[in-house]
Structures are given as structure tokens and as C-alpha cells.
Amino acid sequence: MTTAAPIPSTYKPFSLIAEVTHRCPLHCLYCSNPVELQRADQELTTADWQRVFQQAAQLGILHVHLTGGEPLARKDLPELIRSARDAGLYVNMITSGVGLSEERLATLVDAGLEHLQLSFQDIDEASANQIAGTRAHALKLALVPVLKKFPLAFTVNLVVHRMNLDRLEAFIALAEDLNPDRLEIAHVQYYGWALKNRSLLMPTQKQVDRSIPIVEAAKERLKGKIHLEAVFPDYYATFPKACVGGWGRQMVLIDPLGQAMPCHAAAVIPGLHFDSVRDHDLDWIWKFSPAFQRFRGDAWMPETCLACPRKEKDFGGCRCQAFLLTGDAEAIDPVCTYSPYHGILQSLRTVQTETLPIWRS
Amino acid sequence: MDLQATPKLAPGCRLHPSEPVLLVPEGTLNLAGPARDILAQINGQTTVATIIDQLLQQYSGAPREEMSTDVLNLLNRMEQRGVLRT
């Protein structure tokens, strides 16, 4: 499933998502990691990542997002941060905070960490711990005053879905008390483990309708104090999101094994081969790796999309979602009102209460 | 923000060493015209008035009033965006 000839790419990637490990003390029901997690003994080495960070900076990438799994599970995290920063990258870390002492954080900040993102699962501790599949809520709360001691940008992520949306006002109030620089309120996106738990997490129409003005009011109220960004619930939208800013257009993800992917979920699409940073440099991968070529530009698009002016905005939506919901990775993203499959979202929004949770393991 | 304010960049925000870009958490802000020169002078100690004085030397002939308005507008926008603190 590769395109005949490489599409000459004038696109320059901005960000590198570095999944440095899939190990994690949390088992969140909505985790975006693939269901087939990569083993620890096959992870890229320190030297591999150091090479990748240098190649990323040379390619024009500005931000590296260290994520996982839990990046803190890597003993060489300070070396990774230092080498990314030395290469000229802006260093962000997405973490559960579990296992992060003041001493360890000092080491990471000294190495060059600039931004830290901490997610919360609920306002209610028992529910938060249930969603995370571990007792992490109190630890996260206790970490916040420690973070504040450091010259570090701090983002709170509230991940919202049916199990916690009824408490949205209180959840936002909690975030305000924590006083981050940024606040993200993100509806779960249905990939990886979240897809497995979709019927448990899918919000109701009523919840979605109620949540929108609450988020808008918070945005207004927090203006100039906390920068708020909100992610809309996909299955309730009329037009698709510009997934990862367009395929092979802005972003590279490297998984713990070194496979370079155009997005988190790309491995679900059959027939895609991911080149490894163990075999190729990032510049070659960006320009020539068939996986990055596959949906780059608009040559793959169905006629409806090709003729649609929105293609400049959403770049044809999400290929993984098109595949997961229709079985065809080249189909119109079903979130789009012009998709013949748009109607299936309606049925997927129906609440099924008898489903049991499947924790990431 | 007024002329006596001494703004500084918010934590986790810094100028790119060579490009006209402010690196901020989860993004970049493109800096047009003299915006980079303005932000390069912000350090939490220098007043907005001093920054304007220095810019007027750099861009000789620019009317002071217009310059003041432009600089304050830029800094206020940046403050609203959360990347600048007073």
C-alpha cells in the first residue's frame, strides 16, 4: 500500500512526539497508546534518542514532547532531556507525576525541561483512581505545590467523558485552584484503549450540550490568567478535525522501538510499514518513508473531499478513524456530514451501561 | 499594562535563538516586524517606557506616539495570551 512515486514534500515538521517507553504505573481507560504495547527490553537506547533529537532539530522541528507510557520510567530521562535541549529543541514532558520527587524534578529542570503536563481523571478521588486504574489522584495533587517551585510552564489536562462530565464545573474549579499556566479540557478521542472502552466513555448528547457553554464561560473568565484550550468530542461534530495537522505535514511520532509514525494510531491501518530510526535518519523518513507518503497531500482523497474547500482546513480528517469506523482508510472521515457513514456515529453515541471497563495493561 | 510596567516572559516561554519565533508551551508565536526586538528586551526589570525609548533610537524617525501604542498593543495581546506577565 505505498504510493507509486514519492510526493515531494515541502512540508516542515514542527513537533516530535517521543514515546520513550510504554511502561506506565497508570492503566487509564482512555489511554491513546496502541493496544499492543512495546516491551521494555526493545526500547531505543539513550544514544538512539540523542541521535534522533539532533536529527529532529536539523529537520526544523521546534518542540519535543516526551511522553509514553510514563517517561519517568526511563532512568536516563535527565540525559534525554539534556540532549534534546542541547540540540535546540523545546522540551515538554507529559507525565502522571507518579514517582516524581522534588529532587528528581530539580534534576530534570536543570537538564532543560521547560514544560510539564499533568492530567487529572476526575474531581472525585475514588472515581479518578478508578479511571486511572491506580491510586494516583492524591499523588498528583501533592505534586502541584512542588512543581510551582520551579521555573517551568505547567499545564493541567482534564480528560473528560461520560464518567466525569456531570462534574465539569467542579472539575474546572479544581484546575483553577491548581493555578496552571495552561488548562486543556479534552474530550476522549477513540483510539487505542479508549476505543476498547468507547461505550463506557462516550458522553451523552445532554452532557455535551451542557459542557460547551461551561467551557466557553471558563475561557472568558480565565482570560489573561490561564490559557484554556478545549478539544471537542469528535463523534458529536459535523466536520472532522485536522488530525495531527494533516498526515505527514507537521508531526512525527517515534514509538519506544524507534518506529516513525505520522500519528499515534497509524499502526491500526493495515499495510503500513513504519521505518525505524535505527535504520534511517529522520530527514529520510520524513521525505521518503512510505508511511508518511501514504496520505500526504490530497492525491489519496475521495472525490467528495477533493472537491471540498474544507480540505485546506481539515486535510481530509483522520485516516485512522476512517479505517476504524468504515474498514476503509481512504474513506471520508465519518465525522464529516458528507460521509455516507456519518449516520453510524449516531448509533455509537447510544449509551450502553452494561459494558465492563478494560484497563490498559 | 502601562508604560511603567516591567513585564517578563511567562515560565516556559523563550525566544528561538535565531528564528523570529517565540517558543511557548504547545506552540510557537510568529513575531512580525520589530516584535522580536521588543521581546528580546523584556526581562522583568526594564520598563515599557525604556523599551520604547530604545526602539525609537533603533528605528529613527518613527513617531513616538504611534510606537507607544503599537508596543503596548503587542504586549497586552501577549499578556492576554498568557505568555507575558507583569
In this predicted structure, the answer to whether residue A36 has a pLDDT above a threshold of 90 is no
- For residues B6-30, give the mean pLDDT: 94
In the structure grid, which three cell numbers stand for residue A188, read together?
A: 476522549
Q: What residues form DSSP beta bridges with A186?
A: A159, A231
Q: How far apart are CA B20 and CA A320, in angstroms?
A: 35
Q: What percent of chain A has pLDDT over 70?
A: 96
Q: B-chain residues within 8 Å CB-CB of A14?
A: 28
A250-301 pLDDT tens trace: 999 999 999 999 999 999 999 999 999 999 999 999 999 999 999 999 999 9
Of B14, B17, B25, the CB nearest to A181: B25
Q: The pTM is what?
A: 0.93
DSSP 8-state symbol, B19: S
- For residues A323-338, give the mean pLDDT: 96
Mutate to test the interface with B, among A16, A81, A92, A114 (most CBs of B within 10 A): A114
Q: Is B44 on the interface with A (CB under 8 A)?
A: no
Q: How far apart are CA B84 and CA A224, in angstroms?
A: 9
**pLDDT class for A35, splitting at 50, 70, 90?**
confident
Q: Over the range A184-208, which residues count as b (16 or more CB within 10 Å of their CB) and which as e?
A: bbbbbbbbbbbbbbbebbbbeeebb
Q: Is B29 on the interface with A (CB under 8 A)?
A: no
pLDDT the model gives residue A3? 46
* A 98-127 near B (Cβ less than 8 A): 114-115
Residue A55 or A41, more confident: A55
pLDDT the model gives residue A4? 46
Q: Is B43 on the interface with A (CB under 8 A)?
A: no
A114-156 pLDDT tens trace: 999 999 999 999 999 999 999 999 999 999 999 999 999 999 9
Helix (H, G, I), strand (E, B) or coil at A291: helix
pLDDT the model gives residue A330? 97
A237-262 pLDDT tens trace: 999 999 999 999 999 999 999 999 99
In this predicted structure, the answer to whether residue A2 has a pLDDT above a threshold of 50 is no
**pLDDT class for A7, splitting at 50, 70, 90?**
low
Contact A181 B17 (CB under 8 A): no
Contact B26 A182 (CB under 8 A): yes
Mutate to test the interface with A, among B16, B19, B21, B26 (most CBs of A within 10 A): B26
Mutate to test the interface with A, among B18, B22, B24 (most CBs of A within 10 A): B24
Of A88, A151, A182, the CB nearest to B25: A182
In the structure grid, which three cell numbers stand for residue A3, read together?
A: 504510493
pLDDT the model gives residue A353? 66
Of B13, B16, B25, the CB nearest to A155: B25
Q: B-chain residues within 8 Å CB-CB of A88?
A: 17
Cβ-Cβ contacts under 8 Å between A and B: the total is: 50
Q: A-chain residues within 8 Å CB-CB of B27?
A: 63
pLDDT the model gives residue A40? 86
Q: How far apart are CA A342 and CA A337, in angstroms?
A: 6
Of A88, A151, A225, the CB nearest to B11: A151
User: Which residue reads 471558563 in cell numbers?
Assistant: A218
Q: Is B77 on the interface with A (CB under 8 A)?
A: no
- Share the mean pLDDT of chain A: 93
Contact B12 A153 (CB under 8 A): yes
Q: A-chain residues within 8 Å CB-CB of B80?
A: 223-224
First to last CA, chain A: 31
In this predicted structure, the answer to whether residue A6 has a pLDDT above a threshold of 60 is no
Spell out the SS3 assignment of A30-85. CCCCCCCCCCHHHCCCHHHHHHHHHHHHHCCCCEEEEECCCHHHCCCHHHHHHHHH
Q: Is B52 on the interface with A (CB under 8 A)?
A: no
Cα distance from A223 to chain B (closest Cα, Å)?
Answer: 6
Q: A-chain residues within 8 Å CB-CB of B81?
A: 227
- Amino acid letter, residue A313: K
Residue of chain A with shortest Cα separation from B78 = A224
Q: A-chain residues within 8 Å CB-CB of B44?
A: none
Q: How far apart are CA A7 and CA A4, in angstroms?
A: 9
- For residues A192-214, give the mean pLDDT: 94
pLDDT the model gives residue A1? 43
Of A62, A88, A114, the CB nearest to B12: A114
In the structure grid, which three cell numbers stand for residue A126, read together?
A: 475514588
Cα distance from B14 to chain A (closest Cα, Å)?
Answer: 9
pLDDT the model gives residue A335? 96
Cα distance from B43 to chain A (closest Cα, Å)?
Answer: 14
Contact A223 B80 (CB under 8 A): yes
